[in-house]
Amino acid sequence: MSTVRALIAVPVALVLGLGLLNAQEAPDRIFINGKIVTVDDYFSIQEAVAVRGERFLATGSSEEIQALADADTAVTDLGGRTVIPGLIDNHNHVIRATEYWPNEARLDGVTSRAEALAILRAKADALPEGMWLMSLGGWSEAQFLDSQEDFALAELDALAPVRPAFVQALYSHAYVNTAWFEAMGIPLSATADQQAAAEGLAARVVRDGNGRATGRLNGGFPMVEEALQGFPPVSPEAQVEAVKTAFSHLNSIGLTAVYDPAGVGIRREGYARIREIAADGELTLRVYHTLGGSMPRTPQDAQNLIAEIEASKPFQGDDFVDLIAVGEIYYAPFHWDGTINPIIPGDEDVHWAREILLAGARGGWSVQTHATQPETIGHLLDLVEEVDAVHPVRPLRWTITHADNITAGQLERVRRLGMNVQLRSNMVMGGREPVFEQFGDAAYHMPPLRMAQESGVSYGLGTDGTKAAQIDPFVTLWWAITGKALNGEVIQHQTLTREEALIATTRANAHLMFMEQDIGAIKPGLLADMVVLDRDYLTVPEDEIKEIRPVATMVGGRIVYGEL
């Protein structure tokens, strides 16, 4: 998109559609003297925006918007600040992260090990007595520039001498302190015989040559699941406050909506809880989610899911909380692959996947499928084409999520089917050596951002946070534009322009969630979700993009973070 086109100021009369504003419909609030990056169909840049109730009323020049105001209209002078639509993460497992959010020291985007320790210490000092210190994923040692050494037992003991600490690096491993060992009843020292006989979490403990615990736990996803069983319980009242705290944090980094794909470890009551908060008018983040919460692996699991699909209906919620799809994991033996290895489903696996997809199509469900490698994606597309011959999927906006290694031919098949693709930024944390060892230079094209942009396929950007990846949308935008990991290494050769990346994190994601008539841009009639920035996203040096912070975040016409 040319700069000239982007800077065209569309007259307020055109922005208002018919151009006739009823005299009684003066805005509640106007924002003038700014740089309003609308992300509308023309990517127009305006000076001012008017809000009435929960929705945008008009955009235009400051003079034009001021002319709409009456004596009761609140006027905010933006002082030249840049405003963008509320950012949308199309793949954020936020609900399963809320339970222990008040315990967490988030290390998203932190590039210094020393700073990470300081953040952990500050959180430990601020927590009430008896609360555990946690950092539940979203970071990797590979993102640190100063040192990528393990956190030592002595370091965690020094910053949290009394309270248990559990510091989880992605879904790979974790670091704990002496108080955690005591709480779990696991000895710090163990003989060779004791180590050989150890079970459960005790078998995950990394020990030195003398049998002394180093403070590290290995074991990946299974270890994390085992550890969760030992976490302290959280009361329903505390969980409500945890949701509010988590969502406030997401508002503080510019997020106004997320697509939550459920997944392993989710508690279904979490969605009921956010509905209750929304009913009380206290929800500050829009959450559109899937019908999930487990890892279906057996034919019986598949039959149970089909029964649930047939007994449920999508799109029964509102613009704050809604159940809109099935997935991302609906039958693990068919599609749940990894960054390197595809999954090869058997005939029975394909049968049950087909039955689930047919049930979804019959019921009018969108379906989101986790698939990463070409082989896995190929099996999926074969099956979707079979289903499409019986029940067209184009109106249902079925989605492949992650699609890290999707091919050009597969993107064309996706386009013909009217499907969508959700691409993620988890590789921004670095640690890509195994991927490069497996794929060589092809790893520089995973995911193929430029190819997706030019394919005509509907796609958007997300993170795959909160545990498997960092969640800062400005880090995602920076990665998509620069192709860099947080440690400065170039890991991506297919990049996007700033305009393309912003569209993929706003308007495009709204389309993926059937919400394009409500969110994703700053234009009349859409819900007034917007973010006022501390610097200009379109003009700052590229490496500053990841440092951008909101001055204020608005959701539905209400400022939910910061102030103006």
**Given the DSSP bridges, would you call strands 321-328 and 286-291 parallel, antiparallel or unpaired?**
parallel
pLDDT of 24:
52
Q: Do both 422 and 370 map to the same domain?
A: yes
Mean of the pLDDT values across residues 418-447?
97
Output the pLDDT for position 102: 96
What is the band of 268 on the pLDDT scale with cuts at 50, 70, 90?
A: confident
pLDDT at position 15 over 70: no
**Are 28 and 22 a contacting pair, CB within 8 Å?**
no
Beta strands in 78-218 (DSSP E): 82-85, 87-89, 133-136, 165-169, 173-176, 205-207, 213-217
- Of 471, 486, 513, the last residue of a domain is 513
CATH code of residue 157: 3.10.310.70
Specify whether 263 is located in the same domain as 220. no
DSSP letter for each residue of 60-100: E-HHHHHTT--TT-EEEE-TT-EEEEPEEESSB--GGGSTT
The pLDDT of residue 269 is 80
- What percentage of the chain reaches a pLDDT higher than 70? 95
Q: Count H helices and E strands in the chain, helices first.
A: 20, 23
Output the six-digit token pair for 433. Answer: 């050596």
Phi and psi for 287 in degrees, rounded to 5?
A: -130, 115
Quote the pTM value.
0.94
pLDDT over 90 (residue 62): yes
Whether 153 is in a domain gets the answer yes
Based on the fold, state whether residues 428 and 298 are members of the same structural domain: yes
Closest CA to 473 of 87, 83, 111, 96: 87
Q: In angstroms, how far apart are the furthest CA atoms of the chain?
A: 84
Whole-number Å distance between alpha carbons of 13 and 248: 36
pLDDT digits 0-9 by tens, 171-211: 999 999 999 999 999 999 999 999 999 999 999 999 999 99
Q: How far apart are CA 452 and CA 402, in angstroms?
A: 12
* Residue 210 lies inside a defined structural domain of this protein: yes
**Per-residue pLDDT reduced to its tens digit, 452-462:** 999 999 999 99
Strands 48-52 and 35-37: unpaired
Is the pLDDT score of 9 beyond 50? Answer: no
* Contact indicator for 432, 439 with CB cutoff of 8 Å: no
Q: Residue 484: phi, psi to the nearest 5?
A: -105, 150
Which helix (H) or strand (E) segment holds residue 370: the answer is: strand 366-371
Name the pLDDT band for 265 (thresholds 50, 70, 90): low
In this structure, the answer to whether residues 179 and 205 fall within a common structural domain is: yes
| pLDDT tens digits, 147-178 | 999 999 999 999 999 999 999 999 999 999 99
Q: Identify whether residues 219 and 322 lie together within a single domain.
A: no
Structural domains of the chain, count: 3
Residue 448 identity: P
Report yes or no on 94 lying in a domain.
no
pLDDT over 80 at 19, yes or no: no
Q: Report percent pLDDT > 90 for the chain.
A: 92
Question: 488: domain CATH number?
Answer: 3.20.20.140
3-12, 231-240, 268-277, 539-548: segment of lowest average pLDDT:
3-12
Q: What would the mean pLDDT of 18-38 be, rounded to a whole number?
A: 79
Residue 105 lies in a domain: yes
- pLDDT of residue 262 exceeding 60: yes
* Residues 5/40, Cβ–Cβ less than 8 Å: no
146/223 same-domain check: yes
Q: Report the DSSP beta bridge partners of residue 354.
A: none
Tell me: do 318 and 265 sit in the same domain: yes
pLDDT of residue 545: 98
Residue 14, pLDDT > 50, answer no
Q: Do 214 and 349 share a domain, yes or no?
A: no
Question: Which residues have a Cβ under 8 Å from the Cβ of 23 and sit 6 or more positions away?
Answer: none
Q: What is the DSSP string of 226-260?
A: HHHTTSPP--HHHHHHHHHHHHHHHHHTTEEEEEE
Residue 144 counted as domain residue: yes
The answer to the question of residue 95 being in a domain is no
Domain end (from 183, 202, 228)? 228
The residues facing 173 across adjacent strands are: 169
Which of 476, 497, 513 terminates a domain? The answer is 513
**Would residue 448 count as lying in a domain?**
yes
What average pLDDT does this structure show over 495-520? Answer: 98
What does R_g of the chain's alpha carbons equal in angstroms?
A: 24
Q: What is the CATH number of the domain that holds 3?
A: 2.30.40.10
Q: Give backbone dihedrals phi and psi of 108, rounded to 5 degrees, phi first.
A: -60, 125
E strands within 396-499? Answer: 399-402, 420-424, 458-462
Q: Pick 352 or 292 by higher pLDDT.
A: 352
Based on the fold, state whether residues 63 and 194 are members of the same structural domain. Answer: no
CA-CA distance, 521 to 37, in Å (whole number)?
9
Instruction: Report the alpha-carbon distance of residue 333 to residue 348 in Å, rounded.
Output: 9
How many CB atoms lie under 10 A from the CB of residue 146?
A: 11
Asked if pLDDT for residue 11 goes beyond 60, the answer is no
Cβ atoms of residues 476 and 434 within 8 Å: no
In this structure, are 486 and 357 located in the same domain?
yes
Map residue 339 onto helix, strand or coil: coil
Interhelix angle for 269-279 vs 236-252, to 10°?
70
The string of DSSP letters for 525-553 reads TSB--EEEESS-TTTS-GGGGGG--EEEE
Neighbours of 375 (CB within 10 A): 16
What's the chain's average pLDDT?
94
Over residues 69-119, the pLDDT tens digits come to 999 999 999 999 999 999 999 999 999 899 999 999 999 999 999 999 999
Beta bridge partners of 35: 82
Residue 92 counted as domain residue = no
Q: What is d(CA 85, CA 93) in angstroms, rounded to the nearest whole number?
A: 22
Helix (H) or strand (E) holding 180: helix 178-184
User: What integer pLDDT is reported at residue 246 of this predicted model?
Assistant: 97
Judge if 221 and 240 occupy the same domain.
Answer: no
Mean pLDDT value of segment 212-225: 95
Q: Which domain holds residue 40?
A: 1-86+520-564
In terms of domains, do 284 and 191 share one? no
Q: What is the mean pLDDT of residues 422-437?
A: 97
Structural contact between residues 239 and 274, judged by C-beta atoms closer than 8 angstroms: no
pLDDT at 299 over 60: yes
The tokens 């890892």 sit on which residue? 295
List the beta bridge partners of residue 547: none
